[in-house]
């Protein structure tokens, strides 16, 4: 699987400001790439536009996916359609939702992404619990309300449960290492590297100077003056 972002231009809908003028990026199965840049340079805006946040509009360019010898234009697809093609966005600040159990949320999300799957809720639960145990993630997270009362590190560990449940092929992560203690970072990146070895691709937005201490990068991109360029 290969994703190409070609000459993407993005504006903020509310203000009309062009926040990304020329973004080019490519990533293939099993790769890890990083996007760096100053605060406010447009990194998060680019990710939001790719996944069709309503406050960002793609003005020009294309988002193309090569999948199973098929070329798919994702540029104008809706968020759920993009998810069904194997893409996933991990937000820097995840929502906290009362009254929604994490385990139930994961199963409903799984069924939305894989509507034809025959995997029942009990077998799904067993798989999630087994993954939690194998990765030393506290099983009690699954019984709690979605991100309610979670620390920064717990939220990122819970994000790993999302990845296991939805099995995306290309993952965009916005500041996955922000506001997380050293032990949680090491645990999370151990899991990310395990997924990478199995063929999952990761595009990481990060300010961390020594990101390569945590994951081997295939390429680095920098957002500067609203342009995304290969370093």
Residue ranges per structural domain of the chain: 2-230
The answer to whether 79 and 51 are in contact (CB under 8 A) is: yes
Handedness of CA 53, 54, 59, 64 (dihedral sign): positive
Triad 225, 230, 231: Cα angle to 5°: 90
What pLDDT sits at residue 178? 75
The answer to whether 150 and 158 are in contact (CB under 8 A) is: yes
pTM, rounded to two decimals: 0.94
pLDDT digits (tens, 9 = 90+) for 48-58: 999 999 999 99
Give the C-alpha separation, 138 to 164, whole Å.
15
Third-level CATH fold of 2-230: Rossmann fold (3.40.50)
Residue 138: pLDDT band with limits 50, 70, 90: very high
What pLDDT sits at residue 231? 85
Give the C-alpha separation, 149 to 14, whole Å.
32
pLDDT digits (tens, 9 = 90+) for 148-202: 999 989 999 999 999 999 999 999 999 887 778 888 899 999 999 999 999 999 9
Residue 69: pLDDT band with limits 50, 70, 90: confident
What pLDDT sits at residue 207? 81
């Amino acid at each position: 699987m290969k994703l190409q972002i070609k000459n993407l231009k993005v504006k903020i809908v509310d203000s009309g400001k062009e926040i990304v003028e020329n973004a080019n990026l490519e990533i293939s199965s099993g790769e890890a790439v990083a996007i760096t840049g100053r605060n406010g340079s447009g990194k998060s805006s680019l990710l939001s536009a790719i996944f069709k946040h309503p406050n960002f509009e793609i003005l020009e360019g294309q988002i193309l996916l090569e999948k199973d010898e098929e070329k798919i234009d994702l540029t104008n697809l809706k968020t759920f359609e993009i998810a069904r093609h194997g893409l996933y966005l991990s937000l820097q600040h995840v929502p906290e939702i009362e009254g929604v159990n994490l385990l139930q949320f994961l199963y409903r999300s799984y069924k939305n992404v894989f509507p034809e799957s025959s995997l029942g809720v009990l077998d799904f639960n067993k798989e999630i619990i087994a993954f939690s145990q194998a990765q030393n993630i506290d099983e009690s997270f699954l019984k709690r309300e979605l991100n309610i009362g979670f620390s920064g590190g717990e939220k990122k560990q819970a994000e790993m449960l999302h990845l296991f449940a939805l099995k995306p092929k290309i993952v965009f992560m916005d500041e996955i290492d922000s506001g997380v203690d050293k032990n949680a970072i090491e645990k999370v990146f151990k899991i990310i590297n395990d997924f990478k070895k199995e063929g999952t691709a990761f595009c990481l937005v990060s300010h961390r100077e020594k990101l390569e201490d945590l994951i081997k990068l295939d390429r680095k991109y920098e957002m500067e003056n609203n342009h995304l360029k290969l370093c």
